[in-house]
Structure 1
Amino acid sequence: MRRVAALLAPLALTLALAAAPAQAQRGVDDAAESAPTPPVPTPAPAPTPAPPETPRQLEPDLYLEAMQAIAEGRNNDASSTLARMLAYGPRHAGEWLDLALLQCALGHADEAEQLFQHIETRFDPPQGIRDIIVQQRQQGCAQWRAQRQWSLNLARGHERNVNQGVNLDTYNIGGDGRDYELEARYRPQADRYTTVALDLMSDLTQNGDLGFVQLYARHYDRMDEYNTISLFAGADHPWRYRHWRLRTSALVGALSLGGRLYQAQGQLQLRVTLPLALPPSLEVSVLGGLSHVNYRTLSDFDSNISELRGMLAYRREARQAQLSLGWLNDHAVSARPGGNRAGWSLGLYGRLPLGRQFEGELDLTRQHWVGSNVYSPGLIDQLRRQDNTTLRAALSYPLGTSSALQLEWRQVRNRENIPIFQYDNKVLQLSWRWHGGR
């Protein structure tokens, strides 16, 4: 559908130039920003004053609005815009053809054919317009089909600190001045692992609604108690308010640890893209989200998390970059150690081609939390301050049009003011990714 919409724009421009020279300034490409040519007012006979501008003269370029909606997969919004265009009433063959091509792009073949016939019988279009009508009839109108995509990822890796153990031989808590020896099971333990990840995504409606499912499993060679399986499912709904682009998403999921259900969660998010006058490669958006986390094997750890995040994204061909900065609040549902938490997060991401075949990724995230209460009165009489930094680098090599190999390295540094919670971790992983869809 989106490919058909992209092909219609230059055709409509040709028709508008041929059928109505006064409309030659009308931008038909989605990226065009030239203002439409103002209509020439009909002089009113004296002494009658000139009539005020009609709603049609004040109406923005509905054709561009409809084409943009089709390009973004919002066919229902395009149909609404088309209805507004019909309500205003086309004035010449060029505008009738705009309506016909929009109907065809939306898959309304009968309505498009009626408009084509109307153009041929009511107007005397030039041969160029007739040729395009013939070509469109031969090509046929678009038929909506749900687009589906999937990916399968198989990986083998090595993790240095599976259990998030601390690099301490002794520790001191309780303020009694005594040092206690740390048991071996709480020190870093390394292991190799195998992962399987499956992602499915599909259109749900003609208006760009998406549904997705993500399944992930990790199995360690020796440390079975840290095996994990997670399943998440959700939906995403795009919409617009005037020039503001918005996306609403909902997600639910569960995570098992060591063969037992460990955590369940739900999330709601709203992303707003700001209508700023920026180059096409740049985008500024704001994301707000609410999450609820329920721990099935731990008491007093359930929480509600809210976030507000600003993002600056750059995309040009195969190059991508994103900067994000967010505010976080973690509200403890019950008497969690340390109480509520407040913090911030920083994210930097970049992807670019390296030579003719390789592609590189670099990802840096940092998250900082501060508790509101003493973590454990009488035992750990401190406010917990968490500072976690993750650095990730990846190198991908395509094996064809639908698969690739990826070598990934990740380092985690968790620096806290309470020594027994500090840990480091390093992961090295080689994965094969296979993807497809229609």
Structure 2
Amino acid sequence: MSHYAWRWGSPPPPVKRHSEVKHALLRNYLIQYFLTLVSMPSQDRIKLTIVDGFCGGGLYINESGQEVPGSPLVILDAIREAAFLIQTKQDRRKPIDLDVELICIDKSKSALDYLKRLLEDRNYGAALAAGKIQLVRGDFADHCGAAIQRAKDRSKIAGRAIFVLDQYGYARVPVTCLRDIFATLGHAEVILTFYIDALISYLNEANLAGFEQATGIRGGMTAAEIDDMKKSPKWRVHLQSSLYQSLTSQCSAKFYTPFFVRPERGHGDFWLLHLSQHWKARDVMATTHWEHSNHFAHYGRAGFHMFSTGYITKIDSTDQLQSGFDFSDVAATVSQDTMLEQIPAMLFEATDGLTFEQFFMQLINTTPATRTMVEEALLALNERKEIQVLGLDGEESRARVHLKADHVLRLPKQGRFNF
């Protein structure tokens, strides 16, 4: 059950700062989503279904005593702002029609009653009456199939939908729902929170069995393996890595950003998983994380292969806090320097070279870097003559600012050292 309670006429429930940050990231991501999607002024309509699987009452009180919007209002405000930016930034002869249907699901009747009153109070009554905003009571897992079908009916060819699944805890989104989303909808995305610290801290045989039964995620760890692992000072590293690999491998998404929301005052880390079938969506989300650098992290390495040894948990083998990778300006510099060191060695085995597209696509899920950051590292190495960038004609390219997808990357013939 939710730990929030809403009653019209009473103050809305309090919200922690990290939840505000999640909502800010959601808002910014949705705006960038639309700006990226509507790249041509000739486009005049986009059909999209957004499913808010744990919507709540839509309003909170933050730690400063101010009212702040919950996810339904955040989503609706982002749609309005995106439409305005598209119209003003592009040379358009007619307005863009962002044909978005919002499905809000929550188990709490009082939360949905409050949300309905709130939306009517914020001038969304007509959208409610027209079915552009739908309020559905129940568990997300029970209504997932109907939401997928609705998104499919509205976008039969593209299958365009975003599922915002800010669950309470870690066991309310079955992996079967995730698989059905990606199997049915070709352009679906999922933004999923997962309270990893709560699961890790209290994981035992009984909790593991309950987690597997609720989510359908199998093969993370057996009870015996957990017992053996806890004898190691780095057991959290291995356990988090195993759970992450199990979740991402079983959800059927091709691309993902497994970064952490980093709460203040030790409330515990949340995964904020973005799952999608298209690299560009993943890249937009990674870019958004960099824009919110003070509140997001991953406890792995800079550059590529960030999780090659599993997650580096907040507590290391000596029980000391680690700062982690924090998406700061310093982290950006470290990422750039690390990629400059790693790339030549990674091209060593590719005797015929790799296209920029091939190189980036095989590494996209292993790095906090965006496509632009990877491109900048490659261009810097090319400028230093440590790698070569070739055009389709096999001749060295003069590219200095941008790489094309079919540019070929390889080591100079005389520079093939044994790394």
Taking structure 2 as the reference length, the TM-score comes to 0.21
The structure that is strand-richer by fraction is 1
Taking structure 1 as the reference length, the TM-score comes to 0.20
Greater Rg over alpha carbons, structure: 1
The structure that is helix-richer by fraction is 2
